[in-house]
């Protein structure tokens, strides 16, 4: 009897094993269809609340604006539907009409020349944010700044070879504009009997002067052009803060400090698409801007790389007092963008951006070569450590070049130059 029981138990055990093998094979292998269907169902079930948002984003992105404008989810509406918002000098329902009376504004511009690159990388740079995404003021590991984004910024500079970040502090700001004023605040003397002298070499970014005067602090005063001030004053025992724009805009020249005291290096255009990178910058306080790097001016994000801990803490305190940190949504978008920018060691992104800038400079140079009244600045080749070859700079003032070329061509056609 015991032998029979053991026999039946053995048969049942073998049948159980066989059933499990068959079930597992059907469940996970089959002819490949079940597994795929299971993944589709799983993926579909995970896309519940985001499906509508994704569909809306795709629909708006598909609206044609002739390459001279864009429709937005938060933009203009007509008959309940988003409509094109046209770029400068263009109009019409699809932005295809060039205005014959349009005036080119050479004093400003939008860095939308990189729009095609981000459209090519739409899947990797699109951000879907839940309604409850990071509602807290703080991250788990930092009150204001994403440590993951900090890591990617350091990796970006290592790839581009344009700044030393090892043993340095990084602070995020609402664009580089906020960091410029934060830097002046941090470097100024609080307990001096006279205010710090803030200087910049011509041509300089107008916010150096405008912000310094706007805040009207008793700790610092804007004194104008560095060289002019130096010729009339002695720097001995004088507290000086010097803005150094390198490369310059619109000249594109790499500059060094004139006075050699406390400096703020504005490196907004110190990227391979604008200028050859001869080596990494290693100054006490350096400021960079996302808008010039990737073209995302509307995201309003910049960062400062700082050597001294006391200066770092003052800049950080300024950002905290101004707005309690930088938007978490903004930091997430920047992270997504930079992940793509550094793919394949940055080669696809920087090559695309450089070729766009070079093409614009070549067009502008060709048009102006026909003129007897206008000329273009001389550009001098330098060896670029990123591209490993000697190249001409493509200064960032060409960001507004499409409008200028249109305007110049009209003058040429009218034979007025």
Place 251 in a pLDDT band, splitting at 50, 70 and 90.
confident
Tell me which of 261 and 269 has the higher pLDDT: 269
Q: What is the pLDDT of residue 22?
A: 54
Of 331, 299, 294, residue with least CA distance to 129: 331
DSSP 281-302: B--SEEEEEHHHHHS-GGG--E
Average pLDDT over residues 234-258: 87
For residue 336, the SS3 value is: helix
Tell me which of 160 and 408 has the higher pLDDT: 160
Strand partners, 133: none
Average pLDDT over residues 299-306: 97
Strand partners, 173: 302
Place 159 in a pLDDT band, splitting at 50, 70 and 90.
very high
* pLDDT tens sequence across 172-196: 999 999 999 999 999 998 777 789 9
What sign does the dihedral 134-138-144-150 (CA atoms) show?
negative
Please identify which residue in the block is written with the tokens 């001098």: 380
Q: What is the pLDDT of residue 43?
A: 47
Q: What is the pLDDT of residue 161?
A: 97
Q: What is the pLDDT of residue 216?
A: 83
Q: Is the pLDDT score of 297 beyond 70?
A: yes
CA 381 to chain centre: 26
What sign does the dihedral 209-210-212-213 (CA atoms) show?
positive
* pLDDT tens sequence across 375-411: 877 888 999 999 999 999 988 765 544 545 555 555 5
Q: What is the pLDDT of residue 109?
A: 72
* pLDDT tens sequence across 272-286: 999 999 999 999 999
Cβ contacts of 36 within 8 Å, gap of 6 or more: none
Place 208 in a pLDDT band, splitting at 50, 70 and 90.
very high
In contact, 151 and 263? CB cutoff 8 Å: no
Integer Cα distance of 244 and 256 in angstroms: 7
Q: Is the pLDDT score of 343 beyond 90?
A: yes
Extract the tokens encoding 304: 């400062």
User: Using alpha carbons only, what angle is made at residue 213 by residues 212 and 218, rounded to the nearest 5 degrees?
Assistant: 80
Residue-averaged pLDDT of the chain: 85
Q: What is the pLDDT of residue 214?
A: 93
What radius of gyration do the chain's Cα atoms show?
29
Least confident of 82-86, 226-230, 318-322: 226-230
In contact, 344 and 158? CB cutoff 8 Å: no
User: In this prediction, what percent of the chain has a pLDDT beyond 90?
Assistant: 56
Q: Is the pLDDT score of 3 beyond 80?
A: no
Q: What is the pLDDT of residue 23?
A: 52
Q: Is the pLDDT score of 42 beyond 50?
A: no
């Amino acid at each position: 009897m015991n032998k029979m029981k053991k026999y039946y138990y053995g048969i049942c055990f073998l049948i159980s094993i066989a059933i499990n093998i068959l079930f597992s094979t059907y469940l996970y292998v089959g002819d490949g269809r079940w597994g795929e269907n299971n993944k589709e169902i799983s993926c579909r079930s995970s896309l519940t609340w985001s499906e509508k948002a994704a569909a809306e984003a795709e629909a708006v992105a598909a609206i044609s604006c002739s390459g001279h404008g864009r429709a937005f989810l938060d933009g203009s509406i007509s008959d309940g539907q988003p409509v094109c918002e046209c770029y400068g000098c263009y109009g019409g329902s699809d932005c295809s009409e060039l205005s014959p009376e349009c005036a080119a504004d050479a004093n400003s511009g939008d860095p939308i020349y990189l729009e095609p690159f981000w459209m090519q990388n739409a899947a990797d740079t699109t951000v879907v944010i839940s309604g409850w995404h990071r509602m807290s003021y703080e991250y788990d590991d930092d009150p204001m700044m994403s440590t993951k984004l900090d890591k990617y910024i350091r990796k970006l500079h290592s790839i581009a070879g344009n700044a030393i970040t090892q043993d340095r502090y990084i602070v995020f700001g609402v664009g580089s504009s906020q960091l410029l004023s934060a830097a002046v605040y941090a470097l100024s003397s609080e307990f001096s009997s006279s205010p710090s002298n803030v200087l910049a070499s011509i041509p300089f970014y107008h916010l150096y002067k405008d912000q310094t005067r706007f805040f009207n602090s008793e700790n610092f005063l804007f004194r104008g052009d560095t060289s002019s001030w130096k010729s009339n004053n002695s720097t001995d025992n004088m507290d000086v803060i010097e803005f150094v724009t390198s490369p310059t805009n619109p000249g594109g020249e790499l500059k060094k400090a004139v006075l050699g005291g406390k400096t703020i290096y504005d490196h907004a255009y110190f990227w391979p698409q604008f200028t050859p990178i001869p080596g990494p910058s290693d100054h006490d306080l350096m400021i960079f801007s996302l808008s010039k790097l990737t073209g995302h001016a509307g995201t309003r994000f910049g960062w400062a790389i700082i050597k001294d801990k006391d200066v770092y803490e003052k800049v950080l305190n300024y950002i905290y007092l101004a707005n309690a940190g930088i938007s978490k949504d903004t930091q997430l978008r920047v992270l997504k963008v930079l992940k793509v920018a550094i793919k394949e060691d940055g080669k696809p992104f920087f090559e695309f951006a450089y070729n766009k800038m070079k093409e614009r400079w070549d067009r502008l140079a060709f048009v102006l070569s026909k003129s007897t009244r206008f000329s273009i600045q001389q550009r001098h080749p330098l060896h670029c450590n990123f591209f490993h070859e000697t190249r001409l700079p493509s200064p960032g003032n060409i960001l507004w070049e499409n409008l200028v070329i249109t305007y110049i061509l009209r003058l040429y056609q009218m034979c007025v130059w």
